[in-house]
Structure 1
Amino acid sequence: MPRPQGFAYEQHDATAAVVITHHGRPVTTLRGPRADRFLQEVRAGDAQLVMARWTGNYKRGNERAARAHPRNRGAR
């Protein structure tokens, strides 16, 4: 699986918000305790992986199993 890339974040002190961007486009905005928890995680680990996880922009490994689910069989 390729390593996530292209993520960045901006911390806005005036509003206590964190904006996560992907290739320059805003993906999500975190405020309050969620922003604090995100900043702790991003400083402690691989920033790109943390941002990919927080935005939901990463493969979860269940795509093949989901394709075989009865609900999704006719959607091809």
Structure 2
Amino acid sequence: MEAPFAYRLTKSGLAQISYRGRVVMTLRGAKSSRFVNRIGVLDADAAQLEMAKLTGHFKHGNERASKLHRE
């Protein structure tokens, strides 16, 4: 499986989730801690799914179709 999502933990306790190299979400405080605890026990495929769910499935593939509706 391709791994488009990645995460990075900062010294200040932030968890930054990126999609294909671009940061799409930053977690702070309790949400960051929960994410780190949850992601630590998952395998690679499950971690990708968890990050996709957490980011709210921001990319659905309908971006081009919605552009046509505006015209």
Q: TM-score, normalised by structure 1?
A: 0.65
Gaps of 5+ in 2: 59-68
Runs of 4+ that moved beyond 4 A? none
Q: State the partner residue of 1:42.
A: 39
Based on CA coordinates, which of the two structures has the bigger radius of gyration?
A: 1
For residue 5 of structure 1, report the CA deviation from its aligned partner: 3.5
CA distance in 1, matches of 2:15, 2:38: 13
| Number of residues of Structure 1 aligned to a counterpart in Structure 2 | 57
CA distance in 1, matches of 2:34, 2:26: 13
For residue 4 of structure 1, report the CA deviation from its aligned partner: 7.3
Q: Cα RMSD over matched residues?
A: 2.1
CA distance in 1, matches of 2:57, 2:6: 13
Answering whether residue 18 of structure 2 is matched by residue 18 of structure 1, we say no
Q: State the partner residue of 2:54.
A: 54
CA distance in 2, matches of 1:35, 1:4: 24
Gaps of 5+ in 1: 59-74
For residue 54 of structure 1, report the CA deviation from its aligned partner: 0.8
